[in-house]
Amino acid sequence: MNDSMEQEKEILIASFISGFCLMVIEIGGPRLTAPYIGNTIFSWAAVIASVLGALSLGYYYGGKMADKNPTKEGLGKIFIICSITTFLAYLLGTFVGPLAAILDITTASILTSLIFFPAAATYGIVSPYIIKLTSKAGKEGENSGRVFAVSTLGSILGTLGTGFILVPNLPVKWIFIGTGIIMALLGIYLKAIKMNSPKYTIVLIFLMTLSVATAPIEIYKGTTVYEGESPYYHIRVLDGDFFNESSRILLLDNAISSGHGVGGKAIFEYEKQTQKTYELMGKTPKVLMLGVAAGTIIDGIFKAKPDATVTGVEIDEKTIEVGKRFFNLTENERTEIVIEDARRYIEKTDQRYDFIIIDTYRGKSVPFHLTSDEFLKQLKEKGTTDAIVVVNVIGSIQGDRSELFQSIYKTFANNYRKIVLFPTNKDYEKRQNIMLIATDRNISEFENKYKTELAHVQLDRGKIITDDLNPTDILIMEALR
């Protein structure tokens, strides 16, 4: 009787751990593919749907397997297979992710989500198998409830642990490898692997070794100065010849976010366009920068306006640390860095600013809550009467892929009397950086000076974006086609 109770306890602990590991894969999965397809509602929805579909299949076949002859050793073998498919999920991610980068975001999201299907399906087998293995006559309902409760508690801890502890502090590679090792150890503990039966051992050692040796494909080549994880991004700092000169760049999920040349020289066309707008600043401007990253734009502000005071708001503390260590970002009596979501900061601050720069719209990932009409109304309240707002938007000004940009344009135009556009390319149907200037001020002198560089848009697409109806993620999908 005591042996039976001890075995049941061991199996319930194994159920808890498998529930934990399953959620490590589900929460860590989008971080594995984010460098190639972005971190959008589509990637998350696809992964969740794939995992749920796989679990359904696993539950069905797990029930059929359990009705045959469930044993503790059989359960151990299931855990070994879970370990194998966990390693495979990582290996497939490093191979399929770069291939998906060239696809439209819908296809890419669905394709990469299938990476996690085999693992989730094998994890799905666990619960019905354990229910059958531990059930007693007349107690089937109570037992199934206990198994699902224990497994779900493991999943809750796995979700929180992955989101708050593992992903911010460990490379995704080692999260997957660690999860695979844990499941393998569970299988070994449950006596699925014996010294005289090496077939599972050989497969596990091979996949584990391959996973350790395999590294994600690097889109940008250079000397890695720093590499690490944050709650929001995989971060890399590279030195190399970028944009035809010796440069240092900051990559967030394999997308270029910031960079500078020798002596802090601007290397991005959009940053050079931004620097022209500094002519609209007063002598001692009070500047708000939303989206600091490595702080290269702040550095440029002080070179143009040494008497400026700047408040930089950045949601990711780790990128600020990187900016201070590897770029020219500093905090002093003229520079304040606030770690906060930009909208929360705007809602809470009682400061008013002369010049506001928004650099949070980053390619495949645009914070939808920073595009809405309601946000811009809050933002306008934090600006002085003659405030200038400069926004870096990535998109097409006109054509079939212009609805994202034109919707942002219309939303700003609903709040400011004057909108001026600085594109980085004269082909208005090409996806590019577009500097949008919004103000209620008369800036005709500035417009006349740069009239040959400004763009004029025909507003034939897009609608005003609101908190209630915010299609930003869908519009990104269209813009990336």
**Mapping DSSP to helix (H, G, I), strand (E, B) and coil, where does residue 421 land?**
strand
317 Cβ contact partners less than 8 Å away, ≥ 6 residues apart: 230, 339
Superfamily grouping for domain 2-213 = MFS general substrate transporter like domains (1.20.1250.20)
Statement: residue 245 has pLDDT above 80:
yes
**Mapping DSSP to helix (H, G, I), strand (E, B) and coil, where does residue 176 land?**
helix
Please determine whether the domains at 2-213 and 267-479 fall in the same fold group of CATH: no
Outline where 190-348 has alpha helix (H): 199-213, 269-277, 296-304, 317-326, 342-348
Residue pLDDT, tens place only, 296-333: 999 999 999 999 999 999 999 999 999 999 998 999 99
CATH number of 267-479: 3.40.50.150
Strand partners of residue 438: 389, 419
For the chain, the residue count is: 481
Whole-number Cα distances in Å, 167 to 56, 67, 111, 211, 479: 27, 38, 23, 18, 29
Statement: residue 255 has pLDDT above 90:
no
Cα–Cα distance for residue pair 274/266, rounded to 1 Å:
10
CA angle 394, 399, 402 (to 5 degrees): 35
Cα–Cα distance for residue pair 469/199, rounded to 1 Å:
55
pTM, 2 dp = 0.84
* pLDDT confidence bin for 196, thresholds 50/70/90: very low
Domain ranges in the chain?
Answer: 2-213, 267-479
* pLDDT confidence bin for 1, thresholds 50/70/90: very low
